[in-house]
Structure 1
């Protein structure tokens, strides 16, 4: 599986990105000057221990949080200075999210959970097509309680990709799963990236996942401490956890 080459124009560009939280009189520096470019269509794995700043960075890229200082741009949009209304529109129209916990609506079937997103999307794919992409076409009429954890996470992926976002941001998507189930979820993410061309970022503390990426970025203490490109992307189904 050949790694994607990087075009010249990034989807995301950050310069000197910082984020400081105040817990009483204590300042917590979650990000300490992050310079980063992410490119169209690439699959990036961000590695780092708990507290390294990777979730904070992902939340800022996704418009769920804003930096304390520095620049963060999505194409021509300055996310650091966007209004709440602009960030809401950005999240709705351009970003798909996959979190560690699936956040499915229990009273809706798998298909209906996907429809809940496609009804408000600008250019959605058919819900059944999204479920087929993640290997769940035969489970479309099942409720979350009738699905395994891995199946629920794949429904969450289908829901995220069904609105055909430009960017798919995944925060520890296998964190609540065993290794065999996690590999199925990663395979679904890799397939979605390959077939839709959506820029995909997966953050994790599991270094073995890195081999499936075009590029691997390591965070430590709120800074980028390492970066490398894989000459080829490894099939997630062959990963050894």
Structure 2
């Protein structure tokens, strides 16, 4: 745990410091007699406060890269540095601590516990960190302040996803990783969820990475990174970040 004790949070107002340095990572899944390459020689730097969209078709390596950044998976080769600490060499216990204190996850499916209210679902996270955001404040940021006492079954799909976002940000993570957060939602509801994620990035300065196959979402990002067949094929910055209402889907 000594290495993790050195991982200090960067003040939100600080300059755009490097937060991740991905150095030549490859990932190969061993399926018995068959080896399946998922990533190949990916180099990438991510900076504090950025809003990044990872684009690519199914099977391009987006989710694998996201899982490696979040400490849910490790590369077969190469290194991943989080503020100069090599998370690709951490033990399982160290990775657990890394995820707990530095990473928030939002997935396509909400993973809320049905028997708990929205507030109680968020408290599952806030109870395990030292300086959490109050659940009510997290719910206010995603525009659901009046739904604290509601159970998941009393919420729409979009509202459940916003509770999942509130849960992810309530521990004040440095990085918010979103895997197809609108994939299970209709167009109108997806827009509301994207607006919530955008608000979190702008209000808290949380480095935000969304993976999607929907190229229209790319216009709301500071930066757009495209993967194809496990390789990084483009990395560009938008001249201007569009608001969600401006996106053409």
TM-score, length basis structure 2 = 0.93
Whole-angstrom distance in 1 between the partners of 2:37 and 2:247: 34
Is 1:30 the counterpart of 2:30? The answer is: no
Is 1:170 the counterpart of 2:187? The answer is: no
Whole-angstrom distance in 2 between the partners of 1:158 and 1:240: 26
The superposition leaves residues 153-194 of structure 1 with CA deviations (integer Å, 9 ceiling, x where unpaired) of: 000000000000000000000000011100100000000000
**Partner SS for 2:248:** coil
Shift of 1:225: 0.6
The superposition leaves residues 186-231 of structure 1 with CA deviations (integer Å, 9 ceiling, x where unpaired) of: 0000000000001000000000000000000000010111111111
Is 1:179 the counterpart of 2:179? The answer is: no
Cross-structure match for 1:153: 161
Shift of 1:236: 1.0
How many residue pairs end up in the alignment? 236
Cross-structure match for 1:18: 26
Contact 1:183 1:239 in 2 (8 A): no
Is 1:222 the counterpart of 2:230? The answer is: yes
Is 1:57 the counterpart of 2:65? The answer is: yes
Match of 1:202 among 210, 224, 241: 210
5+ residue gaps, structure 1? 1-5
Whole-angstrom distance in 2 between the partners of 1:19 and 1:95: 21
Whole-angstrom distance in 2 between the partners of 1:83 and 1:127: 31
In 2 relative to 1, CA 110–228 (structure 1 residues): closer, same or farther, beyond 3 Å? same
5+ residue gaps, structure 2? 1-13
Whole-angstrom distance in 2 between the partners of 1:83 and 1:23: 23
Matches within 5 A, 1:93-132: 93-132=101-140
The superposition leaves residues 62-89 of structure 1 with CA deviations (integer Å, 9 ceiling, x where unpaired) of: 0000000001011021011111111000
TM-score, length basis structure 1 = 0.96
- Computed over aligned residues only, the root mean square deviation of the Cα atoms, in angstroms, reads 1.1
Contact 2:25 2:39 in 1 (8 A): yes
Contact 1:16 1:35 in 2 (8 A): yes
Contact 1:216 1:229 in 2 (8 A): yes
Contact 1:7 1:39 in 2 (8 A): no
Cross-structure match for 2:9: none
Contact 2:16 2:48 in 1 (8 A): no
Shift of 1:122: 2.3
**Partner SS for 1:11:** strand
**Partner SS for 1:111:** helix
Is 1:70 the counterpart of 2:82? The answer is: no
Cross-structure match for 2:10: none
Whole-angstrom distance in 2 between the partners of 1:122 and 1:238: 38
Shift of 1:240: 2.0
Cross-structure match for 2:50: 42
